[in-house]
Amino acid sequence: MRRARSFLVQIVWLLLTAQLYAGGIKPLPARIAAVLSDPDLARGFWGIEVVSLPSGRILYAQNADKLFTPASNTKLFTTAAALALVGPDYKFHTTVETTGALDKHGRLIGDLVLMGRGDPNLSGRELPYDLHTERNDHPIQVLENLADTLVQKGVKYVDGDIVADDSYFAFERYGEGWSQDDLVWGDGAPVSALTINDNVLFVNILPADRAGERAFVNVTPFADYYRIDNRIITTPPGAGRKIFINREPGSTVLTLWGNMPMDDQGANEALAIEDPAEFAAKLFRSLLERRGIAVYGRQRTHHTELASLSTFSVTAIAPSRGGDDNQFRPLQMNQPLVLASNDSKPLIEDVRVINKVSQNLHAEILLRLLGREKGTAGTIEGGLEVLRGFLAQAGVPSDQYLFYDGSGLSRQNLVTPHAVVQLLRYAAAQPWGNIYRGTFPVAGVDGSLSDRFKNALQGRVYAKTGSLGGVKALSGYAKTNSSQQIAFSILSNNFNLPSKRITDTTDRIIEAIVADTPAQK
């Protein structure tokens, strides 16, 4: 019976193909070949697979079993695993706690600990995501609220230290294979279980009133974190802008140089901080003191060092990285007293941000969350181990992918178009499949596809973009002109053409894929 049904499907498909060809619609391989026929596209590599979702039939394949650098298409795997295993309703929990005691005079005898558990949205980001990223004017509002709660609880003095604790995840700020050039900017911000304002500071640069004077540089939300060496000179109107920014790894000295004309509207850059927990400790202490709470100790951090995971309990030590204290300190094992707390929005809201705007840091947090909640440890490898188990369940062949991070920043990541499509097919059949697809950018509508497909395909393609130097990717779902639902993956590597040229070619391939019948007028 199954063989007969398969034979019948093939006959119907052949008849349909013959009918389309007779009606002037070329077969899909011919349509895609026409797009890729330009000689200047021949030097790079293209990997493509297109599958009908209802039947599972492969409609087109080119290098579908070859390994490509996927860039941010890596996020498709991380977010799918998070929705399937952790769940869309999961909430992150941030607390301010102590193992000491608060007396009737408002004196806290002991350390005050700001405990992070991975919340990526302790920031001014507006949720739920609606068409584009929106940030309010209060990027540290959650910390402000926690500090206000301490005042309401009657805290007036802290005899101990202010400890920023990000030990929920291991102290692995960066992924293997990340480019050093990325680490200064927001796209390469360090990963931490205690993340404030996406672990970046916004540097605003404005010209001075007169030529020859230094430009104005303003840093928010915590100007005291960086030491600014400003060498940007204001130039006469119409001179053109040239600005350079440098921060060496491990340093908090920010050097800016170049020139900015007087008629320039100004520049705004998101620059990564060095140690998120240290940043949080300094910032939180300043918020407490601003509210009249006297702090007699230092600000310091508590990290989980990777080496400690294989030798003894990660809760047994507190490596201190902040203030003047750089020694390991024992942690109290008493049940902590929670003085203030904050719960995040449901996880699905952040998955939507990750896929719509391709947020690297948040994807990395999800990978570590997988390891912490469903694996052996909140580490990169712990998360990847969980991811591999999930992909085995999804039927993705283990020899068709190799991941080193959760975001796609690593150039060592490898995946085949077939592996991507198999993931998409599996997800489409799961209870969480619809909400997963709903987190993808929509053609001509929002996210990283808001400015693409401003034509008949608007609203008909749900796909995740990916981009690195020499790498472009687009994978997701689409509805063809005949209303057939498909899953596709288009990966291009090793091209030396302008980025827009590859993007336009990818879009033309999508147009060729959906053109299986004449569009309805």
pLDDT digits (tens, 9 = 90+) for 337-365: 999 999 999 999 999 999 999 999 999 99
DSSP string, 38-69: SGGGTTSEEEEEEEETTT--EEEEESTTS-B-
Q: What is the pLDDT of residue 49?
A: 98
The tokens describing 280, both together, are: 């949080």
- What is the domain partition of the chain in residue ranges? 17-86+346-514, 91-173+275-344, 190-274
C-alpha pair distances (Å), 363 with each of 192, 198, 213, 239, 267: 12, 12, 42, 41, 27
Residues 265-319: pLDDT tens digits?
A: 999 999 999 999 999 999 999 999 999 999 999 999 999 988 777 644 444 333 3
344: amino acid identity, one letter:
S
The contacts of residue 457 (CB under 8 Å, 6+ apart) are: 443, 444, 478, 510, 511, 514
Q: How confident is the model at residue 132 (pLDDT cuts 50, 70, 90)?
A: confident
| CATH number of the 91-173+275-344 domain | 3.50.80.20
Q: What is the pLDDT of residue 58?
A: 96
Q: What is the pLDDT of residue 180?
A: 87
Architecture in CATH of 17-86+346-514: 3-Layer(aba) Sandwich (3.40)
Taking all residues of the chain, what is their mean pLDDT, rounded to a whole number?
A: 90
The contacts of residue 212 (CB under 8 Å, 6+ apart) are: 233, 234
Q: What is the pLDDT of residue 331?
A: 47
Residues 381-434: pLDDT tens digits?
A: 999 999 999 999 999 999 999 999 999 999 999 999 999 999 999 999 999 999
Answer whether 494's CB lies under 8 Å from 469's CB. no
Report percent pLDDT > 70 for the chain.
90
Residues 141-198: pLDDT tens digits?
A: 999 999 999 999 999 999 999 999 999 999 999 999 999 888 889 999 999 999 999 9
**Mean pLDDT across 494-504:** 94
Q: What is the pLDDT of residue 82?
A: 98
C-alpha pair distances (Å), 138 with each of 142, 265, 291, 376, 420: 9, 23, 17, 36, 38
Residues known to be catalytic: 72, 75, 358
Q: Radius of gyration (Cα) for the chain, nearest Å? A: 26
Distance, CA of 258 to CA of 244 (rounded, Å)? 6
Q: What is the pLDDT of residue 51?
A: 97
**Mean pLDDT across 451-463:** 95
Alpha helices in 140-242 (DSSP H): 141-152
Using the 8-state DSSP alphabet, how is residue 398 labeled? Answer: G
Q: Are strands 471-479 and 294-295 parallel, antiparallel or unpaired?
A: unpaired
The contacts of residue 287 (CB under 8 Å, 6+ apart) are: 140, 143, 144, 147
Residues 434-447: pLDDT tens digits?
A: 999 999 999 999 99
Q: Which of 22-36, 163-177, 319-333, 481-495 has the lowest mean pLDDT?
A: 319-333
Residues 113-127: pLDDT tens digits?
A: 999 999 999 999 999
Q: What is the pLDDT of residue 20?
A: 47
